[in-house]
Structure 1
Amino acid sequence: MKALTMLIGLFAATSALAAAPHTSDGMLVDEHGMTLYVFDGKGTPDTKACEGDCDRNFPPALAAPGDKPSGDLTLKPAPNGGSQWAFRGKPLHRGLMDKKPGDRAGDGLNEVWHSVRPR
């Protein structure tokens, strides 16, 4: 059972690391086609802005070791000690409420979370 728990933890940690974000249908998405978000509020996201636990509801879009910035996509230090993707300086996040590619349930949430539309 201990080995299974460790395997699940390892899978969860590696699945959070992603290929570089890209544009699909005018939206910035992760490697699975899931919408990426930025926080446009003042300061850092809090439980009110995130509808609860920010790390759970809007986890950071983590970069894989060796990923390199390109154009408007840069890297910032992530809470886990690794790197997080950023777009024009704003850290990118996934939206836990999105269930399939193209979903944008977090877009406009509390007027501070927005999907990214590169221009």
Structure 2
Amino acid sequence: MKALLITSVIAGTMAFSGCTTLKNVAGEDSSGTHDVHAMQNNSAPVTKMNGVLVDSTNHMTLYTYDKDEPNKSNCGKACLVAWPAFLAPKASTTNGKFTTIKRDDGKYQWAMNGKPLYFYANDTKPGDKNGDGKFGTWDVVKAQ
């Protein structure tokens, strides 16, 4: 009974907050502007799509968080439910504006110009930008 109550509370909290899990979806860019940005030697696997940077594998939009510090994520456990980190392999090669940071949880995360990169869990298909401007602190990464 206690386990059922705890499960119900967790499910209710997630439903109330609008959190979902990030879906691992693949898709194709039909805009004609799909352009590989950096993929060699384990460098940041990002692509330009519809004016923003996306993960080159799933084509999900990438975001930055205004409350982060240079080369440091301030998005903790609760934040990461809605804003999953764009994780990098430990041995990633960095170049130019793409680097990796070591998070407080010991994982590595891609960063652009020192700003850690994230996904938004409520983006359900490639190219969605549902998190842009959220809470006045989340922004899509515009393609340059």
Give yes or no for the alignment of 1:111 onto 2:136.
yes
Alignment partner, residue 99 of structure 2: 74
What's the TM-score, normalizing by structure 1?
Answer: 0.70
Please state how far the C-alpha of 1:87 moved relative to its aligned partner.
Answer: 0.9
Structure 2: runs of 5 or more not aligned: 1-23, 25-43
Instruction: Give the counterpart letter for 2:63 in structure 1.
Output: Y
Residue identity in the other structure for 2:60: M
CA deviations 1:69-101 (Å, max 9, x no partner) are 122111100244131000110000110010000
SS in 2 for 1:71: coil
Pick closer, same or farther for the CA change 1:23–1:71 going to 2, 3 Å.
Answer: farther
**Partner-residue secondary structure (3-state), 1:22:** strand
Mapped to 1, the partners of 2:96 and 2:49 lie a distance apart of: 17
The one-character-per-residue Cα deviations of 1:41-65 (angstroms, maximum 9, x if unpaired) are 3763479xxxxx2111001100124
SS of 1:55 mapped into structure 2: helix
* 8 Å contact from structure 2 (residues 68, 116) kept in 1: no
User: Which residue does the alignment assign to 1:34?
Assistant: 60
Hey, what does 1:97 align to over in structure 2? 122
**SS of aligned partner of 1:66:** coil
Structure 1: distance between partners of 2:76 and 2:85: 14
Indicate conservation of the 8 Å contact 2:68/2:115, yes or no. Answer: no
Contact 1:63 1:85 in 2 (8 A): yes
| Bigger Cα Rg | 2
Q: Aligned AA for 1:72?
A: K
List gaps (5 residues or longer) in structure 1: 1-14, 48-52
**2:14 match:** none
